[in-house]
Chain A
Amino acid sequence: MFDTHQTPLPALPGVGYKPQHYTALVDDPTPVGWLEIHAENYMGAGGRPIAQLRELSKRFPVSVHGVGLSIGGEARLDPDHLDRLRTLCNWLNPYSFSEHLAWSTHDSAFFNDLLPLPYTNATLARVCAHIDEVQTCLGRRMLLENPSSYLAFSDSTWDEPDFLREITRRTGCGLLLDVNNVFVSATNLGFSPRGYIDAFPLEAVGEIHLGGHDDDTDDQGAPLLIDSHGREVADPVWALLDHTLALAGPRPVLVEWDTDVPDWFVLRDEAARAADALAAIPDAQEMSVNRDSARLAR
């Protein structure tokens, strides 16, 4: 049905690409291992965004990360948007395509956020049908990202790791594990972030995300973390990355910084910290990991 033998992203640090970093990035003699772009920013007909992306794709492995497909939505997937994704993936031939376990669209109104889903059998069937449609349309395996949660649904009958495992089992898709999202959700909903990682289907993880979060409080004065992508990755999230890599072995690790974007070198330093984490994976664990996912590309 789809090609499962694509070249995977290298198990190196990457960063979310920001156009303001273009010159510093291409002039940097020690840049990052790969780049990720938001699909929707490269769906114009031409101009500088497309030209820069074409040039960057000659220098770096590129991953396409969609933020607007509304895979969890109750309505059918937007066929025009699927067409645009296929067009982008066809000319760019990215190393990876990923989207979110979330919804954002209804009746042609797009709510520019990743909205939460109840983890029920009905949601499971719908999400799997949509992932099947995406993978068939794009002719490639996709990765699905775990969300950051601020609340839970009384209707949910599945834990999130089990829900994601069942999605991978039914669709053959891989997972994008955002460890900042895990830490944010665990803090906000009062579960153990390490327990979540321990229960996660790590064998399906094709990419790891890191990002910064903001601190707020809820009505009870309890901590409420906001997944803002507007600052450095927090220390407990780095610790959670170490825990994850020790269990999963080397994986492509991406640093996201989408608001209050800093100078290139600040972002690159964050990526260097991810490189340190990858280099520090215990050898004994490394022996047992799936070598395929760690294989350097090209």
Chain B
Amino acid sequence: MTGLITEFLPALRDPAHPVPAGLHDGAGRPAGRRFNVYRNNVLVSLIEALETGFPAIRSLLGAQNFRNIARGYATENPPEGPLMIRYGQHFPDWVAAIVALAHIPYLPDVARLELALRASYHAADHTALTAEDLSAVSQDDVERTPLALAPSVHLMRSAWPVVEIRRFALDPSTAKPKGGAQEVAVIRPDFDPVAHALPAGGFAFMAALRDGQPLGQAADTATDAAPQFDLGEVLAFLLSHRALTKGTPRQ
């Protein structure tokens, strides 16, 4: 008996592994390179999924370099389930561990940003909180108003200007990236997520909301983190990009 798991699978995963003996062509001859169709289908489809999921990394590395790196990742990291829309969760760490890429230190963060954009794209829809909703709250209650981030909002910190690096990688006709560390929010107003570099204290404020702090407390947290935090500016930004929803009051 040709075991699917004991024989077929090891040969599928390792091209150096012999093709199982119980497989043949229509005339009873050993399957030989026919088995490679399955090896190729698996590997090529995973590489293509990574090309689709990490277009900025592909642009930064070049198509051939990217394929080589993606092949290594796909060989060692088959998907953990049949949802290919989630494939590549460990790719940033994989890229970070490649010594030959150490001279491009921002690559892992650009890959993390691309993962965040994809997760946002598929995240749950939300009913956005509007400025009118907020102005309807009495002045006395504003401080205690629970707000929540939309489920499609993702936050990340980087030592690099990742938003601009990604933009430039996808469109070299735009301005060259400048500057240093960034705090980033991926926000999806309707269907298309956009990565934004946040103003001072914006990250701390949003992280506090995500942790369940009401508006007043989150603003204090943000001011502690960055004295120049401007609540009005950040709130207007979040409302206009439909990043907030109604939160649930704390018990």
Chain A positions near chain B (C-beta within 8 angstroms): 40-41, 43-51, 67-70, 73-74, 78, 80-81, 84, 103-106, 108-113, 115-118, 150-155, 188-191, 216, 218-220, 222, 224, 226
Partner of A220, one of B29, B41, B80: B29
B181 at the interface (CB under 8 A from A): no
Q: Are B79 and A109 in contact, with the CB atoms below 8 A?
A: yes
B35 at the interface (CB under 8 A from A): yes
Interface string of B20-39 (1 = CB under 8 A from A): 01111111010111110110
Q: Are B35 and A46 in contact, with the CB atoms below 8 A?
A: no
Identify whether the interface residues of B are mostly helix, strand, loop, or mixed.
loop
Q: A49-B122, A106-B4, A218-B32 are in contact. List 6 more A-B contacts (CB 8 A).
A: A45-B123, A68-B82, A108-B80, A112-B46, A152-B23, A154-B22
Interface string of B36-64 (1 = CB under 8 A from A): 01100110011001000000000000000
Q: Are A46 and B122 in contact, with the CB atoms below 8 A?
A: yes
A91 to chain B, nearest CB (A): 13
Interface-side segment among B5-13, B107-115, B198-206, B231-239: B5-13
In the complex, A50→B188 CA distance in Å?
Answer: 15
Nearest 9 interchain pairs by C-beta: A68-B82, A44-B122, A190-B26, A189-B26, A45-B124, A46-B125, A48-B191, A151-B31, A219-B32
In the complex, A50→B31 CA distance in Å?
Answer: 42
Q: Which has the most chain A C-beta neighbours within 10 Å: B5, B82, B121, B191?
A: B82
Closest B residue by C-beta to A188: B26
Q: Are A150 and B49 in contact, with the CB atoms below 8 A?
A: no
In the complex, A115→B41 CA distance in Å?
Answer: 10
Q: Are B83 and A43 in contact, with the CB atoms below 8 A?
A: yes
Chain B positions near chain A (C-beta within 8 angstroms): 1-2, 4-5, 8-9, 12, 21-27, 29, 31-35, 37-38, 41-42, 45-46, 49, 78-85, 120-125, 151-152, 188, 191-192
Q: Are B82 and A115 in contact, with the CB atoms below 8 A?
A: no
